[in-house]
Amino acid sequence: MTGARRKGSAAAQFARWGFDEPARAGSLAADPALAGLADADADENGLLRAIGRTADPDVALLGLVRLLEAADGPGHLGRDAHRVDELREVLGSDGPRRARLLAVLGASAALGDHLQRHPGHWARAADAGLWDAQSRSDDLVRAVSPQVRGDRSGADALRVAYRAHLLEIAALDLSCDDPTLTLPQTSEALADLAGAALEAALSVARQEHPEEAAITRLAVIALGKCGGRELNYVSDVDVVFVAEPPGDAPEGGGGDGSGSSGAAPSRASETDEAATVAAATTLATTLMRTCSASTAEGTLWPVDPALRPEGKQGPLVRTVESHERYYRRWAKTWEFQALLKARTAAGDREVGAAYLDAIRPFIWSAVERENFVEDVQAMRRRVEDNVPSRESERQIKLGVGGLRDVEFTVQLLQLVHGRTDPSLRSGTTLVGLAALAHGGYVAREDAVELDHAYRLLRTLEHRIQLYKLRRTHLMPTDAADLRRIGRSVGYRSEPGEEVIAAWRAQKVEVRRLHQRLFYRPLLSAAAKLTADEARLTPEAARARLLALGFRDPAGALRHLEALTSGTNRTAAIQRTLLPVMLGWFADESDPDYGLLTFRKLSDSLGSTHWYLKMLRDEGRAAERLAHVLARSKYAADLLMQAPESVQILAEESGLVPRTREEVLTTMRAAVRRKDDAPAAMSAARVIRRQELFRIALADLVDAIDDDAVARALTDVTEALLEVALYIATKKVSLDRDDGVSADIALIGLGRLGGAECGYASDADVVVVHRPAAGVDERAATEFVTAVVHELRRLVGSPGPDPSMEVDLDLRPEGKAGPVSRTIEGYRAYYDRWSATWEAQALLRARGVAGDAELRREFEALVDPIRHPSRGLSAAALTEIRRLKARMESERLPRGADPKTHFKLGRGGLSDVEWTIQLLQLQHAHEVPALATTGTMSALHAAAEAKLIEPADAAVLEEAWRLASGVRNAAVLYRVRGAESLPDDVRDADGIHRILGGGAGRGWELGERYRRVARRARAVTEHLFYGHDPAAPHTDPPTGARRGGGARRGVGR
């Protein structure tokens, strides 16, 4: 009974001490190995309590038992060699030596395993001390020397000695009160240890290859965290290898360029160099293998040389001069970011110094390189995007608010400002950050906060990696793991929850600080804020704005000053908003215009309370506004004319285009409030402007797809025509004081008829009327002609919205024909004259405004013409082909490039449309779905009916959508009436971005367009012209272009 009771109380005791599995702990404590040390009843020497204070008491206790068993057990060197008596003595009394040993055992199962294999190393943990870099290196090199390592291989000897040092570093790290305070020392020690290991591995390589070692001087340059002396416990070590022939030290950069670095090296020196590089490659390969191979003693870490010039494809070793050549010509911005941390870690110091001298000038002038801005934007996106979504929530390193985010921010600011300020050129993140604060480039307070966040994140990363010595950057999910990590950084009551909460808070903080560090100092430069803020000089502000992509930094600073100066509420809110908005402007093609329009907008709306409230509170409103203003001049200009339209951003359904009926209702209401025609029309056009802005906005933020844009633009056009027809009819009947002499309907053709309008589409219409009862035909025609004239004037004159041309040229007999006809008039005309091209134009005829009955009658009238019951005759087919062939040579404007003209170019819109329309003329009588006015719906119907191969249909659809999309994007960007791919590379870039292309890759647009059009042309030649796709090309090489005006009104 007593035994049972004691056992029960012992378990409770162990639980109180902090053990997670008290029963198992109890039996472990009773292990013979602990006899005389562990006292489960009273714990007089405090050993069990001390174990209970470690991060994971259960792991610590198990590790301790295994250590003691191994130290005293068979197969090892024995009690004396392992100083077992001394170990028991240390464990038996409270003190720093015991604390350090237990701390290691409680935080790292992997180091516990090491102690079991090498029990004598307990003293290294217990007596852990600080080493300088040189003595660490000497110690490891000694350990791998043949005299010391004996029979052990160099690689094994290196691993054992390395872990002994790791034990010391971990012991100091884990036993200190606040690991975030000592984080720099810990990281530095780890980087020094990695450098020492590289040196020792090089020494092993030299032992293996003495001949090679004699003819080369190899330096190992550490980059990344090892280079910055801020390494974590388990990490790839990024290196670059540099070699020079033995003899005089090579010159660094800035030298006079004589000797071996001349442009035409003699053949003798070339041979020397080749031999040297070959020998150094052998050494470097051996070094890498020595570090990364898995041996009986495990592995250290992979040595990663991928940051070298040309990456994995480049030679492993280069000379100083070869590196220099590469960095001058080929290197990318991110490579300079990596080089920022370069440091000689091992090998020949002189060669290393020469290398660093040579590359430094490149690093600090990287900001002047072409594409720096685009590269930085791309890098920033990479930092945020490149995380598998499954892991993003658990990532400590990557992702939003991760360690990489901090490092990136600091490095970028270093690159931008380090060019003129050498004090910023540290390879260590925290040192660099402190220097930035000291120099006034960021606010001191922000720097302190970022410093805290970084230390915490890094410490968590250290703790996670220590447990199994695995290279991971993921927060564990297992409760026991979280508890251990929480306890190891000092959380005691609910360690798992507390550590997660602290981590999440820091992530948010990092994100916020990112913007503040980048953009807020710009504001202080402009607005001269409080003393504690950053003190960015005008020159530094200029450099930073240029780096962000602003082309006119002086102008940008003036806008910032105007927006943020003053003490009123508006300025205060702008000061908080702008740092974030500057980042969004900088993501786009024209940050300057974005900022300028934002300033104008704020000038006119700044005092209205809803405006500021919207920007501050409406979630994405400010973000969308900034992106749109800096991306699209069309949208920005619409907004400038009616700043209050910005409210659309705050409306819940603001980005949902309104239907024809909704727009019409609003327009009619506005029109009714006005007395005369011009005022009424102006009111309707104000509403059109508002709707155009809404559509552009929704289009630019990708809230709606291309089809929805086309539909919405068509709806707005139809509503405007409807209202204009009403106003014109009313005005003319009032003017003539004669009543309404006829009912009128407008029939849309072309894009309007197909409900496929673009931003710059004209309204192609024909007019049909029916004389009112008792009105003679001539009077009715006169009346309608006057109405149509008035209507065209009303919508075509300059007004609040972009004016729109109402084009009547597709009517029968073209410009020579009457403006309008009656149904009977059209019937008579088509009975007599119907030409194939007219049937083709009518394919897209659709009533769009005016008298509903007339619209139906007209459509019924033309159905047999456009969908002929016997398809197309051979003669008609020949006619239509000839017509198009002639058009291709005649209609293209002088000087236009036939490859890139959207509408008339090869593989352009008219190729696709004519091909589809031909299929409609031929088959609509047997395939009812082809009787549609939409180009895409007809194409789909043709594919469905197997009139066209799916692959060909896909080619035509892609070409048509791309040409339509580029034309729309060109209008949004700024180019009015662009009919070909833009000539200017900057314009191409801006348009490409609107279409979703990456920054600085405008040339891709041309490449893509030409490819797609080339394919569409091949399909057109096959399907429209009837060429055999496999037959050789028979066109004459240069088409003789005949001059003279073609008959307008074809194929629109």
Partner 1 sequence: MDRQQEYVLRTVEERDIRFIRLWFTDVLGTLKSVAVAPAELEPAFEEGLGFDGSAIEGYTRITESDMLVLPDPGTFQVLPWRGSPPGTGRMFSDILLPDGSPSPGDPRHVLKRALKVAGDMGFSFYTHPEIEFFLFRKPVVPGEQPVPVDDAGYFDHVAQGDGHDFRRHAISMLEAMGISVEFSHHESAPGQQEIDLRYADALSTADNIMTFRTVIKEVALQQDCFASFMPKPLSGHPGSGMHTHLSLFEGDQNAFYEAGGRYQLSKVARQFIAGLMHHGPEIVAVTNQWVNSYKRLWGGAEAPAHVSWGHNNGSAMVRVPMYKPQKENSSRIEVRTLDAACNPYLAFAVLLRAGLKGIEEEYVLPEETEDDVWRLTNAERHALGIRALPASLSEAIDIMERSELVADVLGEHVFEVFLRNKRQEWADYRAQVTPFELTHLLPRL
Q: Which region, judged by CB under 8 A, interacts with partner 1, from 500-508, 719-727, 1001-1009, 1041-1049? A: 1001-1009
274, 734, 985, 1046: residue in contact with partner 1 (rule CB under 8 A): 985
Give me the DSSP letters along 146-213: HHHHTTS-HHHHHHHHHHHHHHHHHHHHHHSS-TTTSHHHHHHHHHHHHHHHHHHHHHHHHHH-HHHH
Q: Which region, judged by CB under 8 A, interacts with partner 1, from 429-437, 704-712, 1030-1038, 1041-1049? A: 1030-1038
1037, 1043, 1044, 1045: residue in contact with partner 1 (rule CB under 8 A): 1037
To the nearest whole angstrom, how small is the minimum distance from the Cβ of residue 970 to partner 1? 15
- Phi and psi at 346, nearest 5°, equal -160, 165
To the nearest whole angstrom, how small is the minimum distance from the Cβ of residue 847 to partner 1? 42
Amino acid at 138: D
980 neighbors 901 (Cβ within 8 angstroms): yes
Q: What is the size of the binding site for partner 1 (CB under 8 A)?
A: 45
- For the chain, percent helix, then strand, then coil, each to nearest 5? 65, 5, 30
1032, 1043, 1044, 1045: residue in contact with partner 1 (rule CB under 8 A): 1032
Q: Is residue 324 near partner 1 by the rule CB under 8 A? A: yes
926, 984, 1026, 1039: residue in contact with partner 1 (rule CB under 8 A): 984
Q: Cα(437)–Cα(446) distance, rounded to whole angstroms? A: 8
Unique residue bearing structure tokens 């010039």: 309
Q: Smaller CB distance to partner 1: residue 330 or 610? A: 330
To the nearest whole angstrom, how small is the minimum distance from the Cβ of residue 1013 to partner 1? 9
- C-alpha distances in Å from residue 675, one per residue of 678, 683, 720, 831: 9, 11, 18, 44
Q: Is residue 1018 near partner 1 by the rule CB under 8 A? A: yes
Q: Cα(956)–Cα(951) distance, rounded to whole angstroms? A: 9
Q: Cα(329)–Cα(278) distance, rounded to whole angstroms? A: 24
425 neighbors 418 (Cβ within 8 angstroms): yes
Any idea of the CA torsion for 187, 193, 194, 195, to the nearest 10 degrees? 110
613, 983, 1041, 1046: residue in contact with partner 1 (rule CB under 8 A): 983
Unique residue bearing structure tokens 């913007």: 515
The encoded tokens of residue 679 equal 């005022």
977, 1036, 1043, 1044: residue in contact with partner 1 (rule CB under 8 A): 1036
151, 256, 675, 1028: residue in contact with partner 1 (rule CB under 8 A): 256
Q: Is residue 178 near partner 1 by the rule CB under 8 A? A: no
Amino acid at 924: A
Q: Is residue 1028 near partner 1 by the rule CB under 8 A? A: no
Unique residue bearing structure tokens 């970028």: 412
Q: Which region, judged by CB under 8 A, interacts with partner 1, from 448-456, 597-605, 784-792, 977-985? A: 977-985
986, 1041, 1047, 1048: residue in contact with partner 1 (rule CB under 8 A): 986
Backbone CA torsion sign across 771, 772, 777, 778: negative
Q: Is residue 315 near partner 1 by the rule CB under 8 A? A: yes
To the nearest whole angstrom, how small is the minimum distance from the Cβ of residue 1003 to partner 1? 6
Q: Is residue 988 near partner 1 by the rule CB under 8 A? A: yes
Q: Cα(219)–Cα(280) distance, rounded to whole angstroms? A: 9
593 neighbors 581 (Cβ within 8 angstroms): no
To the nearest whole angstrom, how small is the minimum distance from the Cβ of residue 651 to partner 1? 40
Q: Smaller CB distance to partner 1: residue 368 or 738? A: 368
Q: How many CB atoms are located within 10 Å of the residue 449 CB?
A: 18
- Phi and psi at 817, nearest 5°, equal -80, 165
Instruction: Give, as ranges, the residues between 349 and 368 that touch partner 1 (CB under 8 A).
Output: 361
Q: Smaller CB distance to partner 1: residue 798 or 1037? A: 1037
Q: Cα(260)–Cα(167) distance, rounded to whole angstroms? A: 46
Q: Smaller CB distance to partner 1: residue 455 or 1015? A: 1015
370, 675, 702, 1028: residue in contact with partner 1 (rule CB under 8 A): 370
Q: Which region, judged by CB under 8 A, interacts with partner 1, from 42-50, 250-258, 522-530, 916-924? A: 250-258
Instruction: Give, as ranges, the residues between 407 and 466 that touch partner 1 (CB under 8 A).
Output: none
Q: Is residue 555 near partner 1 by the rule CB under 8 A? A: no
Q: Is residue 302 near partner 1 by the rule CB under 8 A? A: no
The encoded tokens of residue 912 equal 């696709």
Q: Cα(349)–Cα(355) distance, rounded to whole angstroms? A: 10
Q: Cα(377)–Cα(336) distance, rounded to whole angstroms? A: 15
Q: Which region, judged by CB under 8 A, interacts with partner 1, from 9-17, 759-767, 917-925, 1003-1011? A: 1003-1011
661 neighbors 716 (Cβ within 8 angstroms): no
The encoded tokens of residue 377 equal 């934007």
Q: Is residue 717 near partner 1 by the rule CB under 8 A? A: no
Give every CB contact of residue 44 below 8 A, 6+ residues apart in sequence.
none
Q: Is residue 316 near partner 1 by the rule CB under 8 A? A: yes
257, 814, 864, 928: residue in contact with partner 1 (rule CB under 8 A): 257
Instruction: Give, as ranges, the residues between 930 and 959 that touch partner 1 (CB under 8 A).
Output: none
Unique residue bearing structure tokens 């009128």: 744
What are the residues binding partner 1 (CB under 8 A)? 253-258, 261-264, 281, 310-313, 315-316, 324-325, 328-329, 361, 370-371, 897, 899, 982-986, 988, 1003, 1006-1007, 1010-1011, 1014, 1018, 1029, 1032-1033, 1036-1038
